[in-house]
Amino acid sequence: MTNPFDSAIGLDPNLVVLGIESSCDETAAAVVVGGREVKSNVVSSQVDLHAAFGGVVPEVAGRAHEQRITAVLAEAMVEAGVEDSDIGAVAATVGPGLIGSLLVGVSAAKALALVWGVPFVGVNHLEAHFHAALLDAPDVEFPLVMVLVSGGHTMLVVLVGPERYRLLGATLDDAAGEAFDKVARFVDLGYPGGPAIDEAARGGDPTAISFPRAMMKDGYDFSFSGLKTAVINHVRANPDVSIPDVAASFQAAVVEVLVEKARRAARDVGATGICLAGGVAANSALRAAVEAACVADGLGCHLPSRSMCTDNAAMVAAAGWYRLQAHGPTGLDVGADPRMAISFLD
Ligand code: KG4
Ligand code: ZN
């Protein structure tokens, strides 16, 4: 069996990495040894702060990160039972994300790396999400099809090997999580919308309303904005409609498109399995559908635990360990990059 961690360049299984995540609305720090052994994973969520606004307010997020980062870092170190001198590198998300939020984590990471005399490693948030799936299933064989579904991104990617990714498709408009959040807001289910729709859908009939499955047969790209509009139009035209039925039918439409394309991709590239990553990967209907598809198609099914789906710093530390082994430290002159892209293979 191929272990992705065995092929890392200059592998150091004992290197202790402190990871920091602050790209959006979670202030998080974690200690991970050798890219896979999670010693601590502390997340301070700002959900309550933003709920009143129905979405993340960048200025509020940046200030909250600044107020919480020191305590979160201290908690991660104490929980892991490590001293300053045990840390071999400090990794932080440098992008993509909100600039004011990113800067807090990046500045903290650089300061600690400088004071402790250890490497700083700048990590791409989306690559960190890929590593979350591998952290929970380290003994996987490549290639793998990765479905990354978060509040800001929807991508279908082939993991050719560690640090080697090929982009198959992405959303042309709304991200999957964004569609969940917007639909939930429209039907007054609250914020964040994904978990609220997931919960409401349990009491609904997923076949009650036939919402469109956009671009089902066209390549690997996605489009969720038409689906969101179809839900809004249906609710406006049928004010007495059952909200659980709307939630379940909307969720079924999102899930069917994601799973159909992932299955096709797995067949086309000869993948050994399908992985999920990102906040929407916590969705119970999506997880059940991917599991059923993998059983039917004889594929490995790699579903990160729910705490690994949403933003956390263990995935940043793991990605940082990998990046450090493969590419060396990041210069302290490299800053936060709100629009950072992944370098995909051609
Ligand atoms: O990856 P993430 O924590 O943050 C980034 O966007 O990077 O993803 C957050 C997204 C939100 O849109 C949220 O509504 C969605 O993940 N989400 C879910 C569920 N839990 C979180 N969507 C559907 N079902 C869920 N159970
Ligand atoms: Zn994320």
In CATH, what number is assigned to the domain containing residue 188? 3.30.420.40
Residue nearest to atom 19 of ligand 1 (CA): 194
Cα 308 to ligand 1 centre (Å): 11
Same domain, 291 and 313: no
Ligand nearest to the CA of 175: 1
Same domain, 151 and 55: no
pLDDT of residue 10: 59
Domains of the chain: total: 2
pLDDT of residue 137: 78
Same domain, 21 and 169: no
Q: Which of 93, 181, 280 to mutate to test the pocket of ligand 1 (most atoms within 8 A of CB)?
A: 280
Show Cβ contacts of residue 39 under 8 Å, excluding neighbours closer than 6 positions: 16, 30, 31, 32, 33, 79, 80, 81, 82
34: left (phi over 0), alpha (psi -120 to 50) or beta: left
Alpha carbons 288 and 304: distance in angstroms, whole number:
13
Cα 53 to ligand 1 centre (Å): 17
Q: Which helix (H) or strand (E) is 212 found in, with range?
A: none
The token pair that represents 244 in the structure block: 């659980």
The dihedral of CA 232, 233, 239, 245: what is its sign? negative
**Residue numbers in the chain where pLDDT is lower than 50:** 1-9
**Residues within 6 Å of ligand 1 by CB:** 24, 150-152, 177, 180-181, 192-195, 198, 278-280, 282-283, 310-311
Cα 126 to ligand 2 centre (Å): 7
The dihedral of CA 182, 185, 190, 195: what is its sign? negative
Report if residue 266 sits inside a domain: yes
Same domain, 281 and 264: yes
Same domain, 193 and 218: yes
Same domain, 120 and 154: no
Same domain, 222 and 317: no
Instruction: Give the predicted TM-score (pTM) of the model.
Output: 0.92
Same domain, 115 and 260: no
Domain that holds residue 192: 141-303
Cα 192 to ligand 1 centre (Å): 8
Cα 77 to ligand 2 centre (Å): 23
Q: Which atom of ligand 1 is nearest to the CA of 129?
A: 1
How would DSSP label each residue in 80-136? Answer: HT--GGG--EEEEEEESS-HHHHHHHHHHHHHHHHHHT--EEEEEHHHHHHHHHHHH
Q: Which of 25, 102, 180, 312 to mutate to test the pocket of ligand 1 (most atoms within 8 A of CB)?
A: 180
> Looking at the DSSP assignment, which residues form a beta bridge with residue 90?
18, 120
Alpha carbons 68 and 124: distance in angstroms, whole number:
22
pLDDT of residue 11: 65
